[in-house]
Structure 1
Amino acid sequence: MACSTVSESVLYTYKRSFHGFVMKLTKEEKQKVSDMLGVVSVFPNGKKQLHTTRSWDFLGFSEHVNRSNIESDIIIGVLDTGIWPESDSFIDEGFGPPPSKWKGSCQNFENFTCNNKIIGARYYHANGSLGEEDFESPRDSDGHGTHTSSTAAGGLVSMASLMGFGLDSSRRGSISTCCCVQTFDDAIADGVDILSVSLGALSGSLPSDYFDDSIAIGAFHAMKNGILTSASAGNDGPDLATIGNYSPWIVTVGANTIDRTFSTKVQLGNKMVYEGVSINTFDLKNSMYPMIYAGNAPNITGGFNRSLSSQHCRPAGAKDVAYSFPLPATYVGENDGASIFIYLNSTSNATATILKSTEVNDTLAPFVASLSSRGPNPITSDILKPDIAAPGIEILAAWSLNGPLSGVLGDKRREAYNIISGTSMACPHVTGVAAYVKSFHPSWSPAAIKSALMTTASPMDVAASSNAEDAYGAATPLGVATTPDAEFGYGAGHVNPTKAVDPGLIYDAGEIDYVKFLCGQGYNTTNLRQVTGDNTTCSEARNGIVWDLNLPSFALSTSPVISFSQNFSRTVTNVGSPRSTYNAKITAPQSVKIQVEPTVLPFTSLEQKLSFVVKVEGRIGSNTIESASLVWDDGVHQVRSPIVVYSLS
């Protein structure tokens, strides 16, 4: 590339927390840059996919929960589509000026202002990426960023609802927020405490190596600076090995249901009524309308001949998630659909109506939603992902008044609050809980907070899946569960905010631990120094094995039928009672034998560290996932770690 064109090609430079730049390159130029000394990686600056109330009460996190006196000093950074600053969720009444540690700013835009709730905002876009509906500011044109921000840190808004649906108090997990559309580099420099990232690779894309993934790289530097990154697992479930955001230094969040869902009935001209699923705000007043098969519907828009597009409609999907549509609509199970089709062909005057949705109690909740991406980890098979699950289905939160409720541009409905689903919605729940924990323990590392979230999570029952007549709603209209993927769906379990502030023991880790892990994974000294920015080296003495990374979970990938035996080394830190004795309790299936040495951990002081070894051995069949657990119990705290042994061949 000629020197005269270099400055024109560079779009962004990053030089505070880590060094890098964004520039336009041809394929040939990309290869030349990749081969240069000191270059860690070169990867496309492609789009990230959005991983797209009552949920806090469902978590047992009431308005009157115990709060610390420094909670309003905790700053959450949100990397998303923007924010709608006029929302009632972001009123700053009762808030003082931003914390003194805040180093960020609110960029000056005519259509956007900050306050003592939204204390900073930045706006980014690559050349040519601005859509007609987008604002040239941090103002949210989509709604997604407003929704995630208000879930993580929105203020209490009484009687919030979507046209009467989900009527409740919309609120947050933590008090203060920096709702910013920004890069990790700026977020770190600005002084945030927790980062919330409901973004990930595009569906169907191949998994990226840790240092070819911009989110993994940014989160590594955040961790290095004491900032925990909460990230969504992705919405490519229920297939296994679809997980996104799988680096071990972040907390990856899967989406589970809450005890509320929505029923939308179809009434036919023959008086039969079938129960479907959607969030239908349209009230047709029981009026009956002519009915046809979609494959026979003419479609002459967009250059289509006859009904090519309608004949090839995609299936509506699982019935454990209710979606909004820009017109009256619902989706029914396969059996009900067949009955409706029979009626349609039985008369030349078929009629039907779609009723307005009603709220229904879901007694099987929580279970992992079918859309939530599953593990195992595609890069490091012996690190469990996701880490945890949180409410992500049919979540009520603030919305952009520029964003259509259904996400379809032709939808003219505009509301201050919306109900949507996805791991994007689960992620900010964990972000809010992490901020809550940090407000009680401001000196805790990102790994310590992650450990507290995981070891206090409520175990989830795989049996909920087996009890459903049909995992995806073909025969069961409501309350259905997903396939029994166990920990590959929910990680350590369902996040429990009130228990997370007092975990008893924590599995701590820092930059050096992750560096040892990366060295053991084959990264060389040159790669690491360019990323860590220090004199880190990889040597035989420093190389770590994956089974010794001090995580609060255990995973082992093995070959079918062949006997296995693997040791895991761990160290826990006492953060409960100064003098306490923890006893190991193991739960395991018959095919897996688990031993712990020692079986008793006697602590005599706070912050004391004690180590132990877990030995896992046995033999399992092909395409098998075996779940076990280790609980350290002192009579007050039950510090639970999931153990997964699997063979997927």
Structure 2
Amino acid sequence: MKITISFLLLLLPLFASSLDNHDRQVYIVYLGEHKGNREFHEIENNHRSYLESVNESDEEVESSLVYSYKHSINGFAALLNPQQASKISEMEEVVSVIRSEARKYVTHTTRSWEFSGLKETFSRKNLVKDDILLKSKYGKGIIVGVFDSGVWPESKSFSDGDMGPIPKSWKGICQTGHTFNSSHCNRKIIGARYYIKGYEQFYGKLNTTLDSMSPRDMDGHGTHTASTIAGRTVKGVSALGGFAKGTASGGAPLAHLAIYKVCWAIPNAGKEGGNTCFEEDMLAGIDQAIADGVHIMSLSIGTTKPIPYMKDGIALGALHAMKNNIVVSCSAGNNGPTASTLSNVAPWIITVGASSVDRAFIATVKLGNGMIFEGETVTPYKLKKGMYPVVYAAQVVESLVPKSAIDGQCLPGSLSPEKTKGKIVLCLRGNGTRVGKGQEVKRAGGLGFILGNNPQNGADVAADAHVLPAIAVNSDNAIKILAYINSTINPTAYITIAKTLLNRKPAPSMASFTSRGPNTITPDILKPDITAPGINILAAWSGADAPTKLATDTRIVEYNILSGTSMSCPHISATAALLKAIHPTWSSAAIRSALITSSGLNNNEGNLLTDASGITPADPFQFGAGHFRPTKAADPGLVYDASYEDYLLFLCSSGVNNIDPSTFKCPKQSPSPMNLNYPSIAISKVNRTVTVKRTVTNVGGRKSIYFASVKPPVGFSVKVSPAMLKFSRVGEKKSFTVTIRVREDGSLSMEKGEYGFGWLTWRDEIHIVTSPIALSLA
């Protein structure tokens, strides 16, 4: 008996260790700034010392270390159990400890750039000398780092014919791997790397039937975003046999691309399961990209909810990028129209919402009663002439299916082949993917399907490459079609094939899916910053994935049409590349300011931007400062600049006070976040009177005089002092205050928590510099 007890006692530490190891997961330990000049091995040894304090052997230290961030970012990713993570978080010099979480894509061209005013406006007879493309030499010499699912290098969009030499400042590599070698890099794609350690710690070894252990894009998302940014000019491009036909080009077609694959296929989910991106992998890629020498970073990646700055890997990486004067552009997210759903809200990031262009892919559905409704699709399949039986999905479901399927959702396995065969089926948006609903109709023997918006989606109709004849209609038309189906014994319908139509009005309008403010992490920073085209954007595609990403879809396309803030983000990344080429000495904050203050508030009918309905006015919590205007951003007149120290002071005011304790200490009283020199003004709780300070830098004419004008939110008065700014040289700075008061005349009718919006504008003889104002009551 004693031997047995002794033996058990000997096993207890091993048993406990086994439990600890089983409970381990990846944590990111962020240490802020590097202290002094140290070799890489010294930095890594310092990181190991933290692990040695919570592990019993060198073997455990080695097995736990996932990444050592040692270029610009100081920190490491390691396998830890909660107790170890807690112990490390209490150690000196540790700024934060972040438990790793996977981030799903926020998804979150031939028309979008032209619609935005960026096009070759010259001919043999007429040369427009102030064109932004000519000034920037099409982005020549600028390197854009794209963090995504990789790249399909064989696409014509990534040809390097007539490209300039690789910049001498470039220090990156072309990392080889499965199906990807050094020949796949050229003067367009000058570098490629991949980061997968965090993914494999969570999921295990990569299933190479789903993804390639290399920078190659087997998904399509990364190829789409990269070509939107810097794809070469390719004539005669179309999607799916003729849609959006024209000349495709990225916004900065002579810029160079550096690919950082940080997103990977989700196991056991099939191709349509999408990709996932782990923070430790993204942070490793960002750290390396800073050392490689990129000028712009583009991340069409986000979370489903806002995250505090020191718990957000993208925010931490972007802070170090900004310190190195790298512009970081991120998507706002696709969780609208619900309020306060933004991701990537750090003020050193450009946060981009999604809006429409003036192109549509119009098809019609004709009902048996003679009524005809317009909708959109990029489905190349065509019904034979004639009328077909049409049913509502809830009428043809299998027995014993979930209530969501009975509600017309067309979820996988929900439709009865016996009841569906030979019919057109009306399915409603909601749960499940749009293309997945069409696949379910096809599986059950349906000949076509109508995808009806729910009221939340309103008039925001997405054009998809469905696997059978199909049309998507807005919520009003969906209601009318359903009413017809329910009104007759033998309802019938016919779906036409779509045509590409331009100059549609009103445009742009905001996407219903685009995530909205207010910013819940720091309400006194207005987010998003700006909106750009994100609906039905055509760009290059992977040769390894179908346009729908459905496993049953065997089509291969060179170009595809997608929607999401993932598509709007690269428009801003490309414009930032052009601005960097024109103004190489500008800070990342100055470039962000130029984009924000030059954006537009009107659609192509001359009216204010609307939401997806095309009727209801939108607001800055949807579009930020407005719709981007690249040609205006090149010459903004004034910019609101900010330094790395300004952002550290901002973090001090947010309760973060030890990012760089060796060189920077928070003052006893930190400035309010609302006084960060940001190109917009947001005050979440106005109590009678609030005054904020801003400083502008003259980047326009040598001598200029600007006058302020204000459109205050209803119920508030706004005074600018001084109301005139006189500049005598480029680079000169002038400060002013904005005093906001709650009016006492009874004109303020908002409740606490509601916001009112207004505008502050500076004008000289040439420039209009506009900032949005968002105010709520205390």
Q: Give the TM-score, by structure 2 length.
A: 0.76
Q: In the alignment, does 2:292 pair up with 1:152?
A: no
Backbone CA RMSD of aligned residues: 2.5
Bigger Cα displacement from structure 2, 264-273 vs 428-437? 264-273
* Aligned match of 2:679: 552
Pairs within 5 Å for 1:33-52: 33-52=88-107
User: Distance between the aligned counterparts of 2:90 and 2:463, measured in 1?
Assistant: 47
The partner residue of 2:663 within 508, 529, 535 is 535
Q: Which amino acid letter does the alignment assign opposite residue 55 of structure 1?
A: S
Residues 494-551 of structure 1, C-alpha deviation per residue, up to 9 Å, x if partnerless? 11111111111111111010111111222123xx127xxx52111226x222122111
1:88 alignment partner AA = K
Amino acid at match of 1:154: G
Kept in 2: contact 1:133–1:141 (CA 8 A) = yes
Residue 260 (str. 1) matches residue 332 (str. 2): no
Gap change, CA 1:383 and 1:463, over 3 Å in 2: farther
Q: C-alpha separation between the residues in 1 aligned to 2:400 and 2:138?
A: 63
Task: Identify the residue that residue 325 of structure 2 maps to in structure 1.
Answer: 226
Residues 1:181 and 1:305: Cα distance change in structure 2 (over 3 Å): farther
- 1:417-457 per-residue CA deviation (whole Å, 9 max, x = no partner) reads 11111111111101111110110110111001011111111
* Partner amino acid, structure 2, of 1:358: K
Q: 1:193-592 maps to which residues of 2 (within 5 A)?
A: 193-201=295-303, 203=304, 205=305, 207-298=306-397, 305-306=400-401, 310-312=405-407, 313=409, 314-315=429-430, 316-317=453-454, 318=457, 319-324=459-464, 325-345=466-486, 349-360=490-501, 361-460=503-602, 480-481=613-614, 484-525=617-658, 528-529=659-660, 534-540=662-668, 543-558=670-685, 563-592=687-716
- d(CA) in 2 for partners of 1:334, 1:218: 41
Contact (CA 8 Å) 2:461, 2:472: kept in 1 or not? no
Which residue is 1:476 aligned to? Answer: none
What is the aligned partner in structure 1 of residue 259 from structure 2? 180
Match of 2:243?
Answer: 165
The alignment-based identity, stated in percent, is: 43
Deviations 1:459-495 (A, max 9, x none): 2479999998xx66xxxxxxx3375441111111111
**Greater shift in the superposed pair: 189-198 or 364-373:** 364-373
**1:109 has 2:177 as partner:** yes
Which residue in the other structure is 1:25 paired with? 80
Residue of structure 2 equivalent to 1:634: 764
Distance 1:109 1:55, change over 3 A: same
Contact 1:14/1:185 (8 A) holds in 2: yes
User: 2 CA distance for matches of 1:372 and 1:139?
Assistant: 29
Give deviations 1:194-219, integer Å, cap 9, x for gaps: 10011001x3x4x2110100010000
Q: Deviations over 1:218-249 (max 9, x none)?
A: 00000000101001110111121111100000
Q: What residue ranges of structure 1 are gaps of 5+ in the alignment? A: 473-479
CA 593–28 in structure 1, closer or farther in 2 if over 3 Å, else same:
same
Distance across 1 between alignment mates of 2:608 and 2:602: 13
Q: Which residue matches 2:291?
A: 189
Counterpart AA for 1:625: Y
CA contact (8 A) 1:121 1:181 kept: yes
Q: Structure 1 residues 36, 291: CA separation in 2 closer, same or farther (over 3 Å shift)?
A: same
- CA shift for structure 1 position 333: 3.8
Where in structure 2 are the equivalents of 1:21-100 lying within 5 Å?
Answer: 21-52=76-107, 53-64=110-121, 65=131, 66-69=134-137, 71-100=139-168
Conservation of the 8 A alpha-carbon contact between 1:321 and 1:394: no
CA distance in 1, matches of 2:221, 2:258: 12
User: Which one is further off, 186-195 or 513-522?
Assistant: 513-522
Q: Is the 8 A contact 1:367 1:464 kept in 2?
A: no
Question: Aligned partners of 1:436, 1:414: CA distance in 2, in Å?
Answer: 32
**Native 8 Å contact 1:504 1:575 kept in 2:** yes
The change in CA–CA distance for 1:101 and 1:191 in structure 2 (over 3 A counts) is same
In structure 2, C-alpha distance between the alignment counterparts of 1:482 and 1:25, rounded to whole Å = 53
Alignment of 1:589-608 (within 5 A): 589-608=713-732
Tell me if structure 1 keeps the 8 A contact 2:383–2:496: yes
> Could you tell me how far 1:269 is from its partner in structure 2?
4.2
Q: State whether residues 296 and 307 of structure 1, in contact with CA within 8 Å, keep that contact through their aligned partners in structure 2.
A: no
SS at match of 1:508: coil
2-side partners of 1:628 and 1:438: how far apart? 30
1-side partners of 2:56 and 2:406: how far apart?
Answer: 52
Question: 1:277, 1:487 → 2: CA distance?
Answer: 28
> TM-score, normalization: structure 1?
0.90
User: Offset at 1:305?
Assistant: 4.5
Looking at structure 1, the residues matched to 116 and 690 of structure 2 have their Cα atoms a distance apart, in angstroms, of 36
Cα deviations across residues 561-618 of structure 1 (Å, max 9, x unaligned)?
xx53111111111111111111112222441211111111111111111111111112
Partners of 1:321 and 1:51 lie apart in 2 by 18
Taking structure 1 as reference, are residues 244 and 306 closer, same or farther at Cα in structure 2, changes over 3 Å only? Answer: closer
What one-letter code is carried by the residue in structure 1 that aligns with 2:556? R
Structure 2 distance, partners of 1:44, 1:463, is: 48
SS at match of 1:178: strand
The answer to whether the 8 A contact 2:460-2:474 is kept is no
**Residue identity in the other structure for 1:195:** M
Q: What secondary structure, in the 3-state scheme, does the structure 2 residue paired with 1:642 have? A: strand
Maintained 8 Å contact 2:508/2:609: no
Equivalent AA in structure 1 for residue 683 of structure 2: L
SS at match of 2:774: strand
Is residue 505–residue 605 contact of structure 2 (8 Å, CA) maintained in 1?
Answer: no
> What amino acid sits opposite 2:114 in the alignment?
D
How many pairs are equivalent? 623
* Deviation digits for residues 300-327 of structure 1 (CA, Å, limit 9, x no counterpart): xxxx955766324253442323131333
The 2-side partners of 1:393 and 1:70 are apart by 24
- Following TM superposition, by how much is the alpha carbon of 1:406 offset from its aligned partner in structure 2, in angstroms? 1.8
Quote the Cα distance in structure 2 between the aligned partners of 1:347 and 1:588: 54
Aligned-partner SS, 1:450: helix
Measure how far apart 1:334 and its partner are: 4.2
Alpha-carbon displacement from aligned partner over 1:368-396 (angstroms, at most 9, x marks no partner): 11111111111110111011111111111
CA distance in 1 between counterparts of 2:585 and 2:404 reads 57
Letter in 2 for 1:172: G
Counterpart amino acid of residue 333 in structure 2: G
Relative contact order higher in (CA < 8 Å, ≥ 6 apart) = 1
1:335 to partner: Cα distance: 4.4
